[in-house]
Amino acid sequence: MAASMLKESGLPSPLLHRTPTSAPQSALNPVHLAFSCQTSPHHLDCCKLYCRSGAIRQLEAKKRSRCKCSKTSLLTNEATTVELPCLPFNPSEVFTPSASKTLHLYEARFLALLEVLGKYNNLFAHIIVERVVGHSLGLGQEINSFAATYGCLAQVESVRQLEVGALVTIRGIGRVSIVEITQVEPFLKGKASPFQDDIPEDIKGISSMTKKLKQILADVQQLQIKLKTSSSDSLQTPLEKALQWAEKGDQDSSLKLFVPRREERISFAALQPVAGASARELHKLLQERLLAMESTDTLQRLKNVSLFAEESRASIAAKVAIQSLQL
């Protein structure tokens, strides 16, 4: 799975484990799709697949040995969508708008995807895939169930070829919903639609909370610079990079519908790993990212991440104080 090909500064992948559960039945909007079979979850072949980002859409197919199933789709909502390659990851690697990270791609199917990304303006959908409860149909047939959640439109910023594979740096643009799987081999591909916050009502409250959050984050950034963790650490932290992008957004007009509003971008930019973070703090960060990806309330997310940022500020301040005593 692509999880084994991830590098993100300060954010190791195995910190978050979520017990697989069935998707909430009240939230299901059935869409049926049949496609060719494999048993590996990152192929998403011939299984029951719940696609969730906001509203949940269900893609369902029976598992059969080495079958060649014809594609059938009963999609009813043809809102703004774009067909994109998809890369699957586990829940510990949820990717948010404004964030950046580096992937080490080396498996053949992912290198095949990399070769054609130019046709998609260097864009792909970063999705989270996890097993949910399945059941046997009898007579040697069974349903494998996986949930495809927390979609984020990712843009490739740089590619560095290696002896084995390539290092690919990506930037999160905006949340997406995967509404249809259109291809399984040689790599996963699907139709994605924008998923953003609701139109805000309390504009004044959002403006005030955004200003407060930015001040907290400025303090966090200054404290990170003071905290000496490694001589090789860049002075430009993941937080600073995310905030720079969040302030200006993406200038590509073709991405206009997928780029969230400034306040929404800033609320996500706050959720970056900080210098010297402990395993517990990184676990908390992952939980906050999952909550943020599910929310459609900008003001509530700003409040939540402000509390998280205040905790980070206090933690780093304590570490800086201890460091000064040791000099």
Q: How far is CA 232 from CA 23, 170, 207, in A?
A: 44, 21, 37
CA 55/CA 73 separation, integer angstroms: 18
The residues near 69 (Cβ < 8 Å, ≥ 6 apart) are: 34, 35, 36, 37, 46, 61
Residue that has been written with the tokens 């000064």 in this structure: 324
- The confidence score (pLDDT) of residue 144 equals 65
Cα separation, 235 vs 231, in Å, equals 10
pLDDT (0 to 100) of residue 72: 29
pLDDT score, position 148: 73
**Eight-state DSSP code of residue 187:** S
- β-bridge pairing 189-194 and 55-60: unpaired
Report pLDDT digits (tens) over 68-86.
Answer: 333 322 223 345 888 999 9
Low-confidence ranges of the chain (pLDDT < 70): 1-79, 133-144, 147, 228-235, 327
Nearest to 112 by CA among 93, 137, 92, 85: 85
**DSSP string across 76-104:** ----S-EEEEEEEE-GGG---TT-EEEEE
Tokens of 101: 């990270």
